[in-house]
Each structure stands twice: as structure tokens, then as C-alpha cells.
Amino acid sequence: MLLGVEYDIAAYLIWVCTFAFYILIIKRRIRISSKTIKSIKQRVSESTNNPKKMVKLGVRNIEKIIRPCGLSPQKSKSIHTLSKKLEKDHGSKVPENFKDLENLPGVGHKTASVVMSQAFGYPAFPVDTHIHRLAWRWGLSTGKNVEQTEKDLKRLFPMAKWNKLHLQIIFYGREFCPCLLYTSPSPRD
């Protein structure tokens, strides 16, 4: 529960395997609806639930699967390249450590944090621009960047709460704090 609102976090995290979770959520950087995610998740789960199968599928077929979320020509190439690297370097498994994750194509600290926290249950507090903005608005951080905001939030909250709180802030913010409607020049007005 965050600010009196309970979110069904489990509904957003029911995935067939870690790889499908990675492909569907992590590689997608533009927000898409839950309905679209479920549709794509089902297609990926049915046909390509591991890197080896994804490599065999090829770029064109990957593009057909992910087309509903947009940018499919470029994303399909990225997913295919990532799948090859996972197959070759990690035995078709998503690595369970920050170093190896951050060495994958297209993966930075935030993406690695999301995978570590949500796929593997490792305590992490992924901070994207949305969480950064909300932490600033709520007076939880005065950080000028997401790295500082992550440090501030980790200092404020117990480690055992980080994974769930990260999602709660995102879901709360999407519902109640859309950035386009917020025009106050001061973070706490």
C-alpha cells in the first residue's frame, strides 16, 4: 500500500520465464498499455520463451510479434542480437548479477536493477525519470539525476521494501501524477 492505495503488483509480474520478462518489459522503453503487454507476452510465451528459440525465429518474425508496441524494426534487431549474446555467453539464461547484465547490449544500471529486483528478487531500487520526478515532488530527494535519487531513496527506505516500493511509486505516479498535468514550478507546491 502506498499513500492509501493498494496495487496488485503480482498481476504485472506473472511471466512464463525470466527471458520473456526481460524481453517484454526491459527492452520496451516507451510506455505501453497493460493490455498490449499481455497480448505480446502471450505470443512470446507461446513461441519464443528462451534466447535459443528467439535466435531461430529470426528478426522478421520477432518484428511481427512485437509490432503492437511500436518501433518493431529496430527493437526486433536488438532483441535478436541480445538473444544471440545470451545464448553464446550465458547458456541462454539471463545473468543474475549486475556486472553481466550491464554488459549486455542496451542494458544500463536501471534496466539491470529492474531485472535483478523483479525477476530475481534481489534488493534493488530502480529509478527512472518517473520515480526521479515523484521523489523530487514529494521531497524525498533533491538529487539532480537518477543516480542521486536512487541513493537518497535507498537511504530513506528499508532494503526489504525496495522492490515493492519501486513498483508502487510507478503505479501510483501513472494513476495520480501524470507529468503533462503537473505545472507547478516548485517541487512541493
Residues with a catalytic annotation lie at: 110, 128
Calpha distance 188→94 (Å, rounded) = 40
Calpha distance 134→114 (Å, rounded) = 18
Cα angle for residues 59, 34, 73 (degrees, 5° grid)? 20
What are the counts of helices (DSSP H) followed by strands (DSSP E) for the chain? 10, 0
Calpha distance 182→49 (Å, rounded) = 40
Collapsed DSSP state (helix, strand, coil) of residue 53: helix
Residue listed under C-alpha cell 501513472:
174
Calpha distance 179→138 (Å, rounded) = 14
Nearest to 154 by CA among 125, 180, 188: 125
- CA distances 182 to 32, 120, 168, Å, are 21, 34, 19
